Structure 1
Amino acid sequence: MVSRAKDTHTTNRVMRLDDEDWDDLGARAGVRQRAAVVRALIRWYLRRPGAELPERPPAPKDSAGA
């Protein structure tokens, strides 16, 4: 069953992701920007007109200093 969204919102969708991936995405994109990154990736993957890959954050520093 799909939840019904308000007229001003998109319908909620369920995705299964590893907790570590979801947390890391929040840390790099911002907790309130995760959905925007996922939407941008989907539009790019589907080759929607004008869709571009979202900018990737810099690679995290290696804790070993390498």
Structure 2
Amino acid sequence: MVSRAKDTHTTNRVVRVPDADWEELGTLVGERHRSQLIREFIAWYLRRPKATLPKRPAVEPASES
């Protein structure tokens, strides 16, 4: 069942994401920016006008052992 949103909000959706992935995403984009990143990706995927693929963080160079 989908929860009913306030008139000023979009409807809450349930998406299953492994805890480790959710935490790492929060670390990279910020705890309060995950949903914005997901919306940007969806807009790009749906080919919405002016939507661009969200930028990924730079890759850390592998440490030499």
The verdict on a shared fold, with TM-score over 0.5 as the criterion, is: yes
Separation in structure 1 between the aligned mates of residue 4 and residue 41 of structure 2, nearest angstrom: 24
Separation in structure 2 between the aligned mates of residue 41 and residue 21 of structure 1, nearest angstrom: 16
What one-letter code is carried by the residue in structure 1 that aligns with 2:52?
Answer: E
Separation in structure 1 between the aligned mates of residue 46 and residue 21 of structure 2, nearest angstrom: 22
TM-score, normalised via structure 2 length: 0.88
Secondary structure of the residue aligned to 1:38 is: helix
1:18-58 deviation digits (Å, cap 9, x = unpaired): 11111110000000000000010011011111111112111
Give the gaps of 5 or more residues in structure 1. none
Q: How far apart are residue 61 of structure 1 and its match?
A: 4.7
In the alignment, which residue of structure 2 is the partner of 1:14? 14
In the alignment, which residue of structure 1 is the partner of 2:54? 54
Q: How far apart are residue 60 of structure 1 and its match?
A: 3.4
Does 2:36 correspond to 1:43? no
Secondary structure of the residue aligned to 1:31 is: coil
Q: Matched residues, percent identical?
A: 56
Moved over 4 A (4+): none
TM-score, normalised via structure 1 length: 0.87
Report which of the two has the higher share of helix.
1
